[in-house]
Amino acid sequence: MQSSHQGRYWNFINGWDFVIKYLKDKYNISTVCIDKYESFGNGKNLNYIPKKSINRCGLDLENCCNYLYHAEFHLGTSNGLTWLAHGVNKKVVLISNVTKNWCEFKKDIYRIDNEKVCHGCFNEEKFDSSNWMWCPRSKNFECTKTITFEMVKEKIDQCINDLKIFS
C-alpha cells in the first residue's frame, strides 16, 4: 500500500480496512503487508499499514518474492511491489488512476480506475519528486479518492473467481 508520493496511494478513506475485513469475512483470506515501511510519507501526511493486516514490513527482496509467490494474488497500487508480483506470475488487482491504463502490464491484471475524473497525470505531467503532495492539476487526489471499496471488491471477486480457489 505504500508508495513514492501521495498521489500513488489509494486515497479512499478507510479503503484498506474495508478490503481486509471483506477478504477475511468472505474468503477467509488473511492480508499480509510486505511494504518496506510500516508508515511512510512526510510530516502531517503519513500513511500507515492497516491495523488488521499481518505486518511483515521491512523484509529483504528474496523474502518479499517468497511471500508474493505463495500468495493467492496481489492487491496493490501502481508501485514496485505490484511489478514484483507480476514478475513472479501472480494475478494483480491494481488500484490506480494516477497512471494511464497503458502504463502497466496487461497480463493477469484486474485494473481499477475511474476515467470519469481527473486521471493519468503521472504520464502527462512533469513529476516533482520533491513534492510529496504532488497533484499537478490541484484536484486533491480525486483520481484515487473516487475509486471506491465497491469497485475494488468487484475486481477482487473477479480475480478470485478466475483463480477458482474457492469453487
Which H, E and C letters describe 79-126, residue by residue? Answer: CHHHHHHHHCCCCEEEECCCCCCCCCCCCCEEEECCCCCCCCHHHHCC
pLDDT for res 5: 92
Q: Would you state the pLDDT for residue 167?
A: 60
Fold classification of 6-163 (topology level):
Rossmann fold (3.40.50)
Pairing of strands 39-42, 45-48: antiparallel
Domain extent listing, the chain: 6-163
Tens of each residue's pLDDT in the chain, 167 residues = 999 899 999 999 999 999 999 999 999 999 999 999 999 999 889 999 999 999 999 999 999 999 999 999 999 999 999 999 999 999 999 999 999 989 999 999 999 999 999 999 999 999 999 999 999 999 999 999 999 999 999 999 999 999 987 76
Q: Which residue has the cell 514490513?
A: 57
Q: Supply the pTM of this predicted model.
A: 0.94
Residue 76's H or E segment, with its range, is strand 74-77
Residues 6+ apart with CB under 8 A from 78: 3, 8, 94, 96, 98, 99, 103, 104, 122
